[in-house]
Structure 1
Amino acid sequence: MGRALKLAIGLAMVLGLIVASWFSYGWFSAAEVDADANFLVPSGSSLTSVAQSLEENGHIASADAFLLRAKVFGGGEPIQAGEFKLVAGMSPADMLHAFQNGDVVRRFITIPEGTPSIIVFETLMAEGLLTGEIPVPVEGSVLPDTYDFERGEDRAKVLARMQGAMQNFLAEAWPKRAPDIAVDNVRDAVILASIVEKETGVAKERRMVAGLYSNRVKKGMFLQADPTIIYPITKGKPLGRRILRSEIASINDYNTYSMPGLPKGPITNPGRESIEAVLNPAKTDAIYMVADGTGGHEFNVELADHDAAVQRWRALRRERGEM
């Protein structure tokens, strides 16, 4: 072999090593991500479209170079749809690994206990990162909780998870109910729990309130729960004023001042604790309650004691300038 040929081969090898090093460096060194950023991979995206989007957003220098290096160095796993976090200084290799194996960015939406379905609807529709239309869910069908979602997810899917959570919880809780409770089916349990939810915001009172209303249901009494007056007027939203006498006397399928027993349906979406309170109410003979001025209630068995408690509550309200 001639000296010139050996030199040419040597130069070619050196050049090849340089090119290979450059090619490898371009894959494993930092890309163009100068600051943390979120990047969306829409459902059905190809690696080519993702590479083009990365280039358009300034995260990589060249889509073609990214694709060529991905074919050589990248794994064969498909990319996932979702929102991913691109971290400052990450390499193209890190990006591809994230799209193939990383965790998508999860976002959260909270439905507090006692949120009526009209507010659930408005909350989901107001979340700009969700897509699609939904109807107002059936009252009492959503389990209040915090739910995660992905950017671009269909609202109907998020709502289905909320309703599925309620169905699953009821399926677990109903068999654990105490004997001789006031209701004999799951739907009535949710209806009564929705009243308990709206009647007290004090966690330790829930079982007592449930026990009181359970007593009234068993006796065939009027429940006389103020929230059942309000529900047909506002669909569960705050009334924003005092209840009118005409509204107390109104005859409809919800007003428990004008009919005995339960309303025709739930008046909100009750939380786990209110449902559990109805399924395992406090053992009490109380059938009367009135606010005690501290955020809770006073419970009584006899009407005379209740009337005295009502007078104390009215006097306190007058002292506060509320009457």
Structure 2
Amino acid sequence: MWKHIAANGISFLIVILIAAAAALGWGQHQWTGEGPLTSATFFEVERGDSLRRVSERLEEAGAIRSAEVFRIGVRAADRSGDLRFGNYEIPAGANMATVLEIVTAGGPSSFRYRATYVLRNSGTGELRLSERDPATGEVEEIARFAYEEGVPVEYANLVEEGVPMQYRLIIPEGLTSWQVVHGLMAADFLEGEVQDIPQEGMLAPTTIDVNRGADRGELLADMQAAQEQILAEVWENRAEDIPISTPEEALILASIIEKETSVPEERGRVASVFTNRLNQGMRLQTDPTVIYGVTNGRGILGRGLRQSELRGETPWNTYVIDGLPPTPIANPGRAAIEAAVNPDSTDFVFFVADGTGGHAFATTLEEHNANVARWRAIEAERSNN
């Protein structure tokens, strides 16, 4: 009898061991075998997420077959505390081991949607919403709008549903501090009030990725710190014979250069014109300074300058005042600041638009008048077409 009981016990134990081995093999296959995703997908680990919450959401998203097996595998690997919040791209067929490596790696997030907000000189901005196909990697723009025109449903729905999105902020060179502040205030993905307009010229243009809810005041403070550093570095490497004596004057001249040309190769030549004029005691006679005196840097003029404005006395009217105006007229980038303190060596004292987006430069008034005549002819031809 006891032999029979022992034999039965051994048989039962063998069955248990076989079942355990089968379960272990099944679990191993689940962990290392091909995953269920037929195409790549994006997954967010939220700040403070538990292993149970992440595993259940991975199963709901179709990235793994079993939340329980995933948890067992994570614990067996002693990785329970390694989850890193962020947005991740999980490729097609990724097994559980790969998924674990992805959601514990940290580093830059991957997003399906990107909202790129470009500030404009009108004091607002344009938001461009794009989507990346996780299967092909191709990026397609699906909406583009200015906030004052209304928010399209494609963007509104994503925001309402809380879909993770990468926000990119582009603040180009040549905007005034008022334009930057008002552009930031219009952005729905930023938070915080701005009590005072920062000092003109002291905001470094930038392209930066931000999180939804980023504070406007902190962004402005970072831009100010960056501009201070740029100005200090560039001033240390200035040419010795320039007719400006302080970093503040360099910033003023750089802002004028920035507003006068959008062609990178021309900055040094434009700087040389103003440097030569200052050295010769000539007035700078540049329209952007007059416009700043009319608008105070708020918005855009939206029309040509009147003769009365060209003759009008404001602190910034360089047709009337000698030398530099008292403040910058915009926020220049590093390249314009470098041009201001290291101008090209030329004899140019005049320049005018040439119809290509650039300028024609001249050393004599006669040459300049000929260039102006050509530009007037181009303007007349364009207005007739």
Query: TM-score range, shorter-chain basis?
Result: 0.7 to 0.9
Give the deviation of 1:158 after TM superposition. Answer: 5.4
Q: Equivalents in 2 of 1:218, 1:295: separation in Å?
A: 28
1:105 matched to which residue of 2? 109
Question: CA offsets, 1:155-191, max 9 Å, x none?
Answer: 5465555544434433332211110213222232122
- Structure 1 segments unaligned to the other structure (5+ residues): none
Structure 2 vs 1, CA of residues 118 and 84 (structure 1 numbering), >3 Å: closer, same or farther?
A: farther
1:188 matched to which residue of 2? 249
Give the deviation of 1:209 after TM superposition. Answer: 1.0
1:91 matched to 2:151? The reply is: no
1:310 matched to 2:369? The reply is: no
- Equivalent pair of 2:169/2:210 in contact (CA under 8 Å): no
Structure 2 vs 1, CA of residues 319 and 70 (structure 1 numbering), >3 Å: closer, same or farther?
A: closer
- 2:272 paired residue among 203, 206, 211: 211
Q: Percent identity?
A: 37
2:174 matched to which residue of 1? 114
Q: Look up the equivalent residue of 1:152 and give its one-letter code.
A: R
1:152 matched to which residue of 2? 212
- Equivalent pair of 1:207/1:278 in contact (CA under 8 Å): yes
2:13 matched to which residue of 1? 9
More strand by share: 2
Q: Look up the equivalent residue of 1:78 and give its one-letter code.
A: D
Which structure's relative contact order is higher, taking Cα pairs within 8 Å and 6+ residues apart?
1
Query: Secondary structure of the equivalent of 1:298?
Result: strand
Question: CA offsets, 1:194-241, max 9 Å, x none?
Answer: 111111223332112101112333455432211122235273754332
- Equivalent pair of 1:34/1:89 in contact (CA under 8 Å): yes
- 1:82 paired residue among 86, 96, 107: 86
- 1:132 paired residue among 175, 191, 197: 191
Q: Look up the equivalent residue of 1:42 and give its one-letter code.
A: E
- Equivalent pair of 2:201/2:329 in contact (CA under 8 Å): yes
| Greater displacement, 69-78 / 115-124 | 115-124
* RMSD, aligned α-carbons: 3.4
Q: Equivalents in 1 of 2:98, 2:362: separation in Å?
A: 67
Q: Look up the equivalent residue of 1:114 and give its one-letter code.
A: G
2:24 matched to which residue of 1? 20
Output the TM-score relative to the length of structure 1: 0.80
Structure 2 vs 1, CA of residues 84 and 221 (structure 1 numbering), >3 Å: closer, same or farther?
A: same
Query: Secondary structure of the equivalent of 2:82?
Result: coil
1:252 matched to 2:314? The reply is: yes
- Structure 2 segments unaligned to the other structure (5+ residues): 111-165
Structure 2 vs 1, CA of residues 52 and 254 (structure 1 numbering), >3 Å: closer, same or farther?
A: farther
